Structure 1
Amino acid sequence: MVRVLLGGLLWAGLALPAGALAQSRDVVVFAAASLKNALDDAAAAWMRDNSGRRVVVSYAASNALAKQIEVGAPADLFFSADLDWMDYAAAKSLIKTESRVSLLGNSLVLIAPKGSQARIDLRPGVDLASILGSDRLAMGHVNAVPAGKYGKAALEHLGAWAGVKDRIAQTENVRAALVLVSRGEAPLGIVYKTDAVSDPNVTIVATFPESSHRPIVYPVALTKDSANPEAVAFLAFMRSDKVKPIFEKQGFTMLSRAGSGS
């Protein structure tokens, strides 16, 4: 079983003695929350092929994970939901830049609770404010969480941001925004397509035009302090043809595989 740590974890909760980490040889991955279903499956497949080896995954918002690595949280791999936070990690010398690869692509969607009759055309001039009424739009924090940043950019491009900016339920990661809609606590939310696919209690109302935001790219890299050869092997596995169907089943697009560059 993949060992998982969820949510906005604090450094104190992640602290592991470096010696114990080295002895365990667990592959410790810090990954964006939106990767959970696909990465759980990928890790399980790798462990089936590599008896006795384990993958430990901590899921949270990319910004939170980058900051945790910066203060010394022990991780072998950082898997971000956007280029900005991987660039941040590179600028802080937190990763091995030669290992960095842009692995996955995704799309941005507008969701509603299952059974919703909402029909929304996401074109310039769309009036989301009138659709929301007094309710709120769920999305990741617009200044930090990748899905929130993409969402804000898309709304600005469509001319809808001014009307909804004061009606946003901002969350610590994209999966928290998904939960608000899934529970019916918000009538609409902005998440990745892969998040929507993972939850049967939401429906995709519309897909944001690709031109409305920067391409959604998930880069992954070894951390600077990792000396775990199993992490190198797991990274190679994630770039292989064998794992491609696992990611694509969850709605991701494979951008890079072994031998194809970054």
Structure 2
Amino acid sequence: MILLVRMLLVLAFSSFMVTGHASAQERGPLVLAAVSMQEALTDAANRWAALNHPRPVLSFAASSALARQVEAGAKADLFVSADEEWMDYLQGKALLRAGTRARLTENRLVLVAPGTSALKLRITPGFALGRALGSGRLALADPATVPAGRYAKAALERLGVWRDIAGRIVPAENVRAALALVERGVVPLGVVYATDARASGKVRVIGMFPASSHPPITYPVALLKTSSHREAEAFRRFLISREGRTILARRGFGAR
């Protein structure tokens, strides 16, 4: 009898260890997010994991590319877009969970140069952007599809300089790719989000575009309709909570 009890205790303990290990290794919800959110969402995911939750799995790319992946049937739980248009796109195709779309945070647009550049330029209507480029070109995210590029084009059009430099654009696949071109000195100037410049350390901000020169840069978040992860909605609520937004603000996100 004593031997039987000992065997049962060993089996119970082994079962607990296996179950506990499986729980510790459980994958968190899969989050598809605009690449400009990389550092901020990594911080948020780390904090969520520190609160004894499975750490969310983060996948970053241009909002346009991620929305197309969702449309094509990619299995994910949350989508964070760098603009409202791509979230509208998925909502129009009934791919979002009803009632879960919310505005997460905001950003600003800046003109950057390599860190060693001594260029000075005020961003005002009709400013001499073409002259500042010299024989070089301007890097920005592809304005045909990528939110950062759309915002940049809108700002340059509103300021009356787009027509002068439209043929001198280097359209990158996403805003971080545009940033990299400036970091490496491939181009003398680029247009990126303020948070990208802050995260880099290899570029110098020449100036910030007036908020009135482009549509508001807002980041919506929503649960995807096909999500089945038990923690997906809880993590979404964490992101839009005061603590979640504070984490994002430490990386420069939010109204300024």
- Whether the 8 Å contact between 2:104 and 2:245 is mirrored in structure 1 is no
Q: Which has the higher helix share?
A: 2
Separation (CA, whole Å) in 2 of partners of 1:161 and 1:201: 26
Tell me, yes or no, if structure 1 residue 116 matches structure 2 residue 117.
yes
Separation (CA, whole Å) in 2 of partners of 1:86 and 1:60: 14
Separation (CA, whole Å) in 2 of partners of 1:124 and 1:241: 37
The code of the aligned residue for 1:217 comes to: T
Separation (CA, whole Å) in 1 of partners of 2:255 and 2:118: 33
Percent identity of the aligned residues? 50
SS in 1 for 2:167: coil
Separation (CA, whole Å) in 1 of partners of 2:78 and 2:27: 13
Could you tell me which residue of structure 1 aligns to residue 82 of structure 2? 81
Alpha-carbon shift at residue 106 of structure 1 (Å): 0.3
- Whether the 8 Å contact between 1:247 and 1:254 is mirrored in structure 2 is no
Alpha-carbon shift at residue 227 of structure 1 (Å): 1.7
Could you tell me which residue of structure 2 aligns to residue 129 of structure 1? 130
Could you tell me which residue of structure 2 aligns to residue 219 of structure 1? 220
Separation (CA, whole Å) in 2 of partners of 1:83 and 1:210: 16
Separation (CA, whole Å) in 2 of partners of 1:24 and 1:221: 22
Separation (CA, whole Å) in 1 of partners of 2:52 and 2:94: 31
Alpha-carbon shift at residue 231 of structure 1 (Å): 0.5
Alpha-carbon shift at residue 82 of structure 1 (Å): 0.2
Could you tell me which residue of structure 1 aligns to residue 101 of structure 2? 100
The code of the aligned residue for 1:83 comes to: E
The code of the aligned residue for 2:66 comes to: L
RMSD over aligned Cα atoms: 1.5
Alpha-carbon shift at residue 24 of structure 1 (Å): 4.9
- Structure 1 moving runs of 4+ over 4 Å: none
The structure with more radius of gyration: 2
SS in 2 for 1:166: helix
Separation (CA, whole Å) in 2 of partners of 1:128 and 1:25: 48
The code of the aligned residue for 1:62 comes to: S
Could you tell me which residue of structure 1 aligns to residue 157 of structure 2? 156
- Between stretches 218-227 and 23-32, larger displacement belongs to 23-32
User: 1:169-217: CA deviations, max 9, x gaps?
Assistant: 1100000001111111111000000000001100110000011000000
Could you tell me which residue of structure 1 aligns to residue 51 of structure 2? 49
Segments of 5+ residues of structure 2 without an aligned counterpart are 1-24
Could you tell me which residue of structure 1 aligns to residue 207 of structure 2? 206
- Whether the 8 Å contact between 2:107 and 2:255 is mirrored in structure 1 is no
Could you tell me which residue of structure 1 aligns to residue 171 of structure 2? 170
Alpha-carbon shift at residue 119 of structure 1 (Å): 1.1
